[in-house]
Amino acid sequence: MVATNNSGKFVEISDLLKQINIKAIKPPAELAEPKETGKTFAANSLLKAKYYAQKTGLVALADDSGLCIEALNGKPGIHSARFSLDQFGKKNFPNAFKKIAAELKNNGVNPSGSKAHFICNLTIFDPKTNFAKSFEGRIDGSLTFPPLGNKGFGYDPIFVKDGMTKTFGEISAAKKDTISHRAQAFTQLIKYFSDPQRLIHVDVVAKSKKWLSIKNIEKFIEKTCKELILLSEIKSFLKKQNSLDLSVSLVSDAQIKKINHEFRNKNKATDVLSFSFLDEKLIRKNGFENVVKSMPQLFLGDIVLAFETINKEAIAAKKDFYHHLTHLLLHSILHLIGYDHENKEDAKIMEKIETKILQKIGIKNPYL
Which tens digits make up the pLDDT trace of 63-113? Answer: 999 999 999 999 999 999 899 998 888 999 999 999 999 999 999 999 999
Distances (CA, A) of 205 to 5, 199, 221, 249, 348: 46, 19, 10, 5, 32
Tell me what pLDDT residue 175 has: 93
The model's confidence at residue 193, banded by pLDDT at 50, 70 and 90, is confident
* Those residues with Cβ within 8 angstroms of residue 218's Cβ, 6 or more apart along the chain or in another chain: 204, 206, 250
| CA dihedral for 208, 204, 294, 281, sign (positive or negative) | negative
32, pLDDT greater than 90: no
DSSP 136: E
Concatenated DSSP letters of 205-245: EE-SHHHHTSTTHHHHHHHHHHHHHHHSTTHHHHTTT-EEE
**216: alpha, beta or left, given left = phi > 0 and alpha = psi -120 to 50?**
left
Return the CATH number of 197-360, one of 3.30.70.860, 3.40.390.30, 3.40.50.720, 3.40.30.10.
Answer: 3.40.390.30
Domain boundaries, the chain: 7-194, 197-360
d(CA 307, CA 328): 12
The model's confidence at residue 342, banded by pLDDT at 50, 70 and 90, is confident
- The predicted model gives 270-296 an average pLDDT of 86
Tell me what pLDDT residue 236 has: 85
Q: Give me the CATH topology for the region 7-194.
A: Maf protein (3.90.950)
Instruction: Give me the active site residues, please.
Output: 64
Residue 288 has a CB neighbour count (10 Å cut-off) of 20
Q: In this structure, which amino acid lies at residue 334?
A: L
User: Are 211 and 307 within 8 A, CB to CB?
Assistant: yes
Backbone angles phi, psi at 108, to 5 degrees: 75, 25
Tell me what pLDDT residue 366 has: 94
- The predicted model gives 184-199 an average pLDDT of 89
288, pLDDT greater than 90: no
d(CA 2, CA 25): 6
114: burial class by Cβ within 10 Å (0-12, 13-18, 19+)? buried
Please give the sequence-ordered ranges of beta strands (E in DSSP) within the chain, or none if there are none.
Answer: 60-69, 115-126, 131-143, 159-161, 200-206, 243-251, 272-276, 297-306
User: Are 182 and 137 within 8 A, CB to CB?
Assistant: yes
